């Protein structure tokens, strides 16, 4: 299936700063005036700190000029100026740190808000999207995107804006004290610095983008391999997996080397430009001093201003790189937010109200791809309280019925009805709350048994969990465990056996207490003895509920009220077990084949005399 994402042509382009526009509402939240006031206060502290910083070189200059005069008359003044200079440096640092304290909550709130928006979106994307994306890759995109938010806020407000203010102020000061020549040289140097920094950074951004892609690929391969640990062991494929990971990691290492080397080139170029201006400006001041037009203090003044200017200017290169990389990372995260939601509730959609939990498929056509139809005009009805089974060859569309019933997809034509209501017109939450499922592979959270059972309902109490555990016949097993319900089940529930996982899944469904029960190959992965035990439990659980059993082994559903036989997405046969055998059609053929397979297996299992 193709990825359900927006095309690369529609992605936010960091170079057009469209990503930054998307980001600004998180910086200035309309619904939180407290955070907006924090930003205003932080900016006032920035201006105060910058004002003090711009005054410091004058105190330094006057102290030097005073010391160049008679010591008897200038000592007290020089000491006062030195004290003022030291106090100013402390005051500037104090304002900067107060600014950080005031602003910290803003940064964390923006990070939290965007992370919640992305997580919210991911849970509303279609099953198609999640089947086509690698979990490790998506996780890495979210991690990089959220980490970039705080830095983006900090640099935009407290580096770029103050640096621009300082550049203008220094230009005015230089013009008043030294003339237009020094202003022109400074402006030319700054423009050259910014242009070269941008040009090299754009080149580095491409390298970083490639490095990010390779990093995501390496992580996704590692996560995929570890999640399928048992499969790797079954096929003795450790070396193969290590080789695949090593290829991705090696490609990432090469990209990282190129990226770091380009950083060295950028740093050397920036240093050459700034030091060239420093040498020219100080030489100009010395020349003025030699003509008697400038003082020694003027040399100190120019040096101090340029040093103060170079500090944020040097940082500006790093800030620009960080912002550009942050925009790339955030653009990838906004890609996730912009991914089309395939199944959406219609505006004003009502909740499904189930009084008689009947199910009907009315001329349903559906395919995961337009070129391949899975269900071709399928129609059937399951009366309330009945147990129906759906069987058929592989690829006939059995599991697709469950996905359509849960509204993971909407049919391309036709209707799916519950209690006579078209579920496409109802809210997804209400539809899914009416259905419980016990799947073939019951995946559990890496938490306790109690947590996994209680997951069936938001407000499940301890009594509900215990009652469900007894109903699923797993309580005797839990009572034998030293930690009981607090026993950890491990990743995907791998610490439990197949039968134990199925019973936890049954208990979880009992906590949900839905009027409709879907059994999707619920026992096909179990041994015969465990299967019979689970079937016995499922028969008790499904009593007084509308139940649909999707099965491969026909012996597990022979007692169903009615059996629907699918073939090529159509309803080929329908009837009870005995009726279908007498009809001598597809069902009878499948039954005979499975009976032959069972007899063959029994013959092989019988020891020779």
Helix, strand, or coil (residue 549): strand
- Give per-residue pLDDT as tens, 198-251: 787 777 777 777 777 777 777 777 877 887 777 777 777 778 788 888 887 888
Between strands 546-550 and 387-391, the pairing is: parallel
Each residue's pLDDT tens digit, 537-550:
777 777 778 888 88
- Give the CB-side neighbour count of residue 385, counting CA atoms within 13 A: 3
pLDDT tier at 136, thresholds 50, 70, 90? low
Backbone angles phi, psi at 388, to 5 degrees: -110, 145
Does residue 562 contact residue 534 with C-beta atoms inside 8 Å?
no
Place of tokens 């057009």: 16
Q: Which tens digit of pLDDT belongs to each residue from 164-179?
A: 888 888 888 888 888 8
Which of 256-265, 459-468, 505-514 is predicted with the least confidence, judged by mean pLDDT?
256-265
- The rounded mean pLDDT for the chain is 79
Rg of the chain's alpha carbons, rounded to an integer?
35
Q: What is the pLDDT of residue 6?
A: 38
Band (pLDDT 50/70/90 cuts) for residue 15 is very low
Higher per-residue pLDDT: 526 or 152: 152
What pLDDT is recorded for position 12?
Answer: 44
**C-alpha 92: how far from chain center:** 39
547 token code pair: 């139940």
Give the β-pairing of 562-567 and 546-550. unpaired
More reliable by pLDDT, 191 or 143:
191
445 vs 123, residue with greater confidence: 445
Cα 283 from Cα 485, distance rounded (Å): 79
pLDDT given at position 415: 92
Identify whether the C-beta of residue 567 lies closer than 8 Å to the C-beta of residue 392: yes
In this prediction, residue 551 carries a pLDDT of 82
Among 128-137, 291-300, 448-457, where is mean pLDDT lowest? 128-137
User: Is the distance from CB of 474 to CB of 555 less than 8 angstroms?
Assistant: no
In this predicted structure, what is the pLDDT of residue 321?
67
Phi, psi of 377 (to 5 degrees): 70, 40
| Per-residue pLDDT reduced to its tens digit, 473-525 | 888 888 888 888 888 888 777 788 877 888 888 888 888 888 888 888 777 65
Answer yes or no: is pLDDT of 592 > 50.
yes
16-72 confidence digits (pLDDT tens): 567 767 777 777 777 778 788 888 888 888 888 888 888 888 777 777 777 776 665
* DSSP classification of residue 346: P
Mean pLDDT across 339-348:
78
Name 540's Cβ contacts closer than 8 Å, sequence gap at least 6. 471
The pLDDT assigned to 416 comes to 92
pLDDT of residue 14: 46
Q: What is the DSSP letter of 414?
A: E
Contacts with 252 (C-beta within 8 Å, 6 or more apart), sequence order: 211, 214, 215, 217, 218
Confidence of residue 127 (pLDDT cuts 50, 70, 90): low
Least confident of 309-323, 386-400, 454-468: 309-323
DSSP-derived secondary structure letter, 518: E
- How far, CA to CA in Å, does 5 sit from each of 342, 465, 604? 10, 39, 51
Would the pLDDT of 527 be above 70?
Answer: no
pLDDT tens per residue across span 359-413: 999 999 988 877 788 888 889 999 988 889 898 887 788 888 888 998 888 888 8
pLDDT of residue 567: 87
Instruction: With a cut of 50, say whether residue 110 has pLDDT above it.
Output: yes
DSSP 51-65: HHHHHHHHHHHHHHH
| Alpha-carbon torsion, ordered 602, 603, 608, 609, to 10 deg | 90
pLDDT tops 70 at residue 124: no
* Residues 325-340, mean pLDDT to the nearest whole number: 75
Lowest-confidence pick of 65-69, 71-75, 193-197, 566-570: 71-75
Torsion, CA 42, CA 46, CA 48, CA 52, rounded to 10? 150
The fraction of the chain above a pLDDT of 70, given in percent, is 88
Q: Coil, strand, or helix at residue 435?
A: strand
Q: Please report the pLDDT score of residue 360 as a whole number.
A: 92
137, 219 contact by CB (below 8 A): yes
Within 427-574, where are the H helices?
428-433, 449-454, 462-471, 475-480, 498-512, 528-542
Question: pTM for the whole thing?
Answer: 0.60
Q: How would residue 606 be classed by pLDDT, with cut points 50, 70 and 90?
A: very low
| Tokens linked to 10 | 């529609």
pLDDT of residue 53: 82
């Amino acid at each position: 299936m193709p990825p359900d994402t927006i095309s690369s042509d529609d992605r936010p382009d960091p170079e057009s700063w469209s990503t930054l526009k998307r980001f600004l509402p998180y910086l200035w939240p309309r619904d939180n005036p407290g955070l907006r006031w924090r930003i205003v206060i932080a900016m006032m502290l920035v201006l105060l700190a910058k004002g003090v910083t711009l005054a410091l070189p004058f105190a330094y200059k006057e102290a030097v000029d005073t010391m160049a005069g008679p010591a008897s008359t200038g000592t007290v003044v020089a000491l006062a100026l030195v004290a003022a200079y030291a106090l100013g440096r402390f005051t500037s640092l104090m304002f900067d740190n107060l600014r950080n304290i005031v602003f910290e909550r803003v940064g964390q709130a923006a990070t939290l808000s965007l992370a919640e928006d992305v997580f919210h979106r991911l849970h509303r994307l279609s099953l198609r999207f999640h089947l086509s994306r690698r979990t490790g890759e998506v996780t890495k995109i979210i991690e990089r995107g959220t980490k970039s938010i705080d830095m983006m806020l900090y640099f935009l407000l407290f580096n770029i804006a103050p640096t621009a203010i300082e550049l203008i102020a220094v230009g005015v000061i230089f013009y008043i004290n030294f003339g237009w020549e020094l202003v022109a040289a400074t402006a030319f140097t700054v423009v050259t610095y910014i242009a070269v920094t941008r040009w090299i950074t754009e080149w580095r951004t491409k390298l970083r983008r490639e490095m990010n892609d390779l990093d995501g690929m390496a992580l996704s391969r590692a996560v995929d391999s570890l999640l399928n640990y048992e499969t790797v062991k079954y096929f003795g494929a450790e070396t193969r997996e290590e080789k695949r990971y090593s290829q991705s990691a090696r490609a990432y290492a090469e990209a990282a080397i190129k990226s770091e080397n380009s950083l060295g080139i950028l740093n050397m170029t920036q240093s050459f430009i700034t030091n060239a201006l420093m040498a020219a400006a100080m030489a100009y001041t010395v020349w003025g001093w030699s003509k008697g037009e400038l003082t020694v203090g003027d040399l100190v003044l120019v040096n101090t201003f340029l040093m103060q200017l170079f500090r944020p200017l040097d940082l500006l290169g790093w800030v620009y790189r960080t912002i550009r990389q942050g925009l790339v990372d955030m653009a990838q995260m906004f890609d996730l937010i912009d991914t089309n939601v395939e199944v959406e509730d219609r505006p004003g959609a009502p909740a499904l109200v189930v009084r008689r939990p009947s199910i009907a498929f009315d001329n349903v056509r559906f395919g995961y791809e337009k070129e391949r139809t899975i269900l071709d005009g399928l129609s059937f009805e399951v009366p309330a309280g009945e147990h129906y089974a759906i069987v058929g060859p592989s690829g006939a569309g059995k599991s697709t019925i469950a996905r359509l019933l849960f509204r993971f997809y909407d049919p391309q034509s036709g209707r799916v009805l519950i209690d006579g209501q078209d579920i496409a017109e109802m809210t997804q939450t209400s539809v899914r709350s009416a259905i419980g499922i016990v799947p073939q592979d019951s995946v559990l959270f890496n938490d306790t048994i109690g947590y996994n059972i209680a997951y069936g309902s938001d407000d499940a109490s301890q009594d509900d969990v215990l009652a469900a555990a007894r109903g699923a016949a797993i309580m005797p097993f839990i009572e034998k465990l030293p930690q009981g319900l607090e026993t950890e089940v491990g990743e995907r529930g791998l610490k439990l056996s197949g039968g134990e996982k199925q019973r936890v899944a049954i208990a979880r469904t009992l906590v949900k207490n839905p009027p409709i029960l879907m059994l999707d190959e619920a026992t096909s992965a179990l041994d015969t003895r465990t299967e019979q035990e689970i079937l016995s439990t499922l028969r008790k659980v499904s009593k007084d509920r509308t139940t649909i059993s999707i099965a491969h082994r026909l012996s597990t559903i022979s007692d169903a009220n009615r059996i629907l036989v699918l073939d090529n997405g159509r309803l080929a046969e329908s009837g009870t077990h005995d009726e279908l055998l007498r009809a001598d059609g597809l069902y009878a053929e499948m039954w005979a084949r499975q009976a032959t397979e069972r007899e063959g297996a029994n013959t092989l299992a019988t020891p020779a005399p």
